[in-house]
Amino acid sequence: MKPFDYIRADSTTHATRAAGQGANFIAGGTNLLDLMKLEVMAPHKLVDINRLDLHQITEVDGGLRIGALVSNSDLAADMTVRKQYPVLSEALLAGASGQLRNKATTGGNLLQRTRCYYFYDTAMPCNKREPGTGCQAMEGATRLHAILGTSDACIASHPSDMAVAMRLLDAVVEIESAGGAVRSVPLSEFYRLPGQTPHIETVLEPSDLIIAVTLPAPAKGAQTYRKVRDRASYAFAMVSVAARVQMDEGTITDAALAFGGIGSQPWRNPAVEKALIGQKPSPELFAKAADILLADAKPQKDNAFKVPLTRRTLIATLKELCGKDAA
């Protein structure tokens, strides 16, 4: 690990000012410290934000405001989350291990970096790590990689489970910039597609600090998180589906679907949901939804299995949530 200077921030103003001087924020550190050991990231300065007053979960306007420093463990165990937003609790508990969830934070989880093997290997070219050097993943091992929202510069997938559930729940990110101005960005507009600049992953400016994530009042319907991975626990998603479906007298009256493991960011396609709403569940309808989702999929040799796997996972999830009404 390259040497660096460290400071503890005691206010958000101080934290954003330090970031303005070129420091990286460190919260739980579970991803950043690993990347620093490998010298994939080599910040000269770290500003530790753990002592900022961002640890609360509060009910606001029928929804929930989650401080950026709430740990993944605490968020998963929160009674309001478990009752009103069970998909979020399930997604959190499907990620990492207990020791990591105890340290990992809400804001940090949104910002965790891809687990692309080539991004992690500093001997390899990588447009995300070193812009303009090329992408070794294209012709390499792509089991973990994205099939949606990729570009000819980058096919890395977003690794988060939590962010997939947050995307389903229409989360909004609260951001404080240097100078103290606070703005809100819907998670749907928070991540950027890789295009030719895969190193720019979000709309955050260098001194921007995530201070909270807010969830609107819970929408009606049954929720679930289904994750498919190479082993039963402690592995990144090959495919995951966060889903909410509301049924009324045998008809799907509302539906929302978000996907992990297959997109360059937590993936959601409104056209898939629109195709389901107002319809009676049937194998044909579910197949149609999968067709729409996967119409633009661009698999590589190694991860072509994700197309049928996503289809089957989506159909199984819809069958589960539509219950006995599913044909």
Partner 1 sequence: MTAVFSDRIDIALRVNGEEVEARVPAGRHLVDFLRLDLGLTGAHASCEHGVCGACTVKVDGQAIRGCLMLAAQADGADVWTVEGLSDTGDLSDLQAAFVARNALQCGFCTPGMLVAAQELLAQPGIPSRHAIREHLSGNYCRCTGYEAIVDAIESTAQARADRGVA
How many chain residues touch partner 1 (CB under 8 A)? 35
> Closest separation between CB of residue 55 and partner 1, Å?
12
CB atoms within 10 A of CB 120: 16
Both tokens assigned to 307: 């197309």
| HSE of 106, CA atoms in CB hemisphere, 13 A | 29
Task: Answer for the pair 52, 25: CB distance below 8 angstroms, yes or no.
Answer: no
Q: Which is nearer to partner 1, 41 or 203 (CB)?
A: 41
> Closest separation between CB of residue 65 and partner 1, Å?
23
Between CA 148 and CA 143 the distance in angstroms is: 14
Residues 163-192 within binding reach of partner 1 (CB under 8 A) = none
Q: Which is nearer to partner 1, 58 or 99 (CB)?
A: 99
> Closest separation between CB of residue 282 and partner 1, Å?
34
Q: Which is nearer to partner 1, 94 or 156 (CB)?
A: 94
Between CA 258 and CA 101 the distance in angstroms is: 22
Q: Which is nearer to partner 1, 26 or 148 (CB)?
A: 26
CB atoms within 10 A of CB 309: 16
Question: Smallest Cα–Cα separation from 314: which of 296, 278, 289?
Answer: 289
Q: Binder to partner 1 among 62, 98, 179, 206 (CB under 8 A)?
A: 98
Only one residue has tokens 């000012």, namely: 17
> Residue type for 101, please?
R
Q: Which is nearer to partner 1, 37 or 220 (CB)?
A: 37
Residues 293-322 within binding reach of partner 1 (CB under 8 A) = none
Between CA 317 and CA 19 the distance in angstroms is: 42
Q: Which is nearer to partner 1, 30 or 114 (CB)?
A: 30
> Closest separation between CB of residue 233 and partner 1, Å?
4
Q: Any residues with CB less than 8 A from the CB of 291 and at least 6 apart, and which?
A: none
Only one residue has tokens 């067709």, namely: 291
Between CA 281 and CA 252 the distance in angstroms is: 7
Site string for partner 1, 57-96 (x = CB under 8 A): ----------------x----------------------x
Between CA 147 and CA 65 the distance in angstroms is: 32
Residues 193-252 within binding reach of partner 1 (CB under 8 A) = 232-234
Q: Which is nearer to partner 1, 61 or 232 (CB)?
A: 232
> Closest separation between CB of residue 264 and partner 1, Å?
24
Task: Answer for the pair 1, 37: CB distance below 8 angstroms, yes or no.
Answer: yes
Between CA 70 and CA 67 the distance in angstroms is: 6
Q: Which is nearer to partner 1, 234 or 305 (CB)?
A: 234
Site string for partner 1, 13-52 (x = CB under 8 A): -x---x----x--x--xx--xx-xxx------xx-x-x--
Q: Binder to partner 1 among 55, 82, 103, 229 (CB under 8 A)?
A: 103
> Closest separation between CB of residue 47 and partner 1, Å?
8
The two beta strands, 182-186 and 209-215, are unpaired
Q: Which is nearer to partner 1, 6 or 305 (CB)?
A: 6
> Closest separation between CB of residue 33 and partner 1, Å?
5
At 214, give phi and psi (nearest 5°): -110, 145
Task: Answer for the pair 313, 239: CB distance below 8 angstroms, yes or no.
Answer: yes
> Closest separation between CB of residue 97 and partner 1, Å?
2
> Residue type for 220, please?
K
Binding residues vs partner 1 (CB under 8 A): 1, 3-10, 14, 18, 23, 26, 29-30, 33-34, 36-38, 45-46, 48, 50, 73, 96-100, 102-103, 232-234
